[in-house]
Amino acid sequence: MPIEIERKFLVKNLNFIRDSSNKKSIEQGYLSKDPNRTVRVRIEDEKAFITIKGKSFNNGTSRIEVENKISLKDARELMSLCLSSPIKKIRYLISINNFIFEVDVFQNNNNKGLIIAEIELDSENSKFPKPDWLGEEVTGQIKFYNSQL
């Protein structure tokens, strides 16, 4: 099974925008928010995916993740089955020294204005750059999981 190794941070300011190479609109909803697994439907611009994530382990840094591309039509239909309103966000991609930060600026619900940066790593002990806009680490804090927002 594929393992996702990821760390999350709050973002202190908008300086990440100057460093971004790309951005995309994302809408995602959850078909399951079970504490042991989540099932997510995501539309990124004109692409769609279904993702199953297992319960986090190792202080929230790692978990099983399986993601598959699905048709845009299927994704739109599955959105109508989601447990709550979909999350809408703009994702900025920032490459620094061969590491990719994904910075999400949330657009709706009670999360408007929330900005979270994520970085996927090869190992839990990987060293990575920490740009000036990176704030407090929130890895493993359930209240910052997208499924809880």
Residue 124: give its domain's CATH number.
Answer: 2.40.320.10
Please name the residues in contact with 58: beta carbons below 8 A apart, sequence gap of 6 or more. Answer: 124
Number of domains in the chain: 1
What range defines the domain where residue 67 resides? 3-148
For residue 30, indicate whether it is catalytic: yes
What gap in Å lies between CA 42 and CA 70, rounded to an integer?
Answer: 9
Q: Work out the percent of the chain whose per-residue pLDDT is above 70.
A: 99
Task: Give residue 60's pLDDT band: very low, low, confident or very high (50, 70, 90).
Answer: confident
Give 148's pLDDT tier (boundaries 50, 70, 90): confident
Give the global pTM.
0.91
Question: In the predicted model, what is the mean pLDDT of residues 3-23?
Answer: 94
Judge contact between 102 and 93, C-beta under 8 A.
yes
Average pLDDT taken over every residue of the chain: 93
Binned at pLDDT 50, 70 and 90, residue 56 comes out as confident
- Among residues 9, 30, 92, 133, which one is catalytic? 30
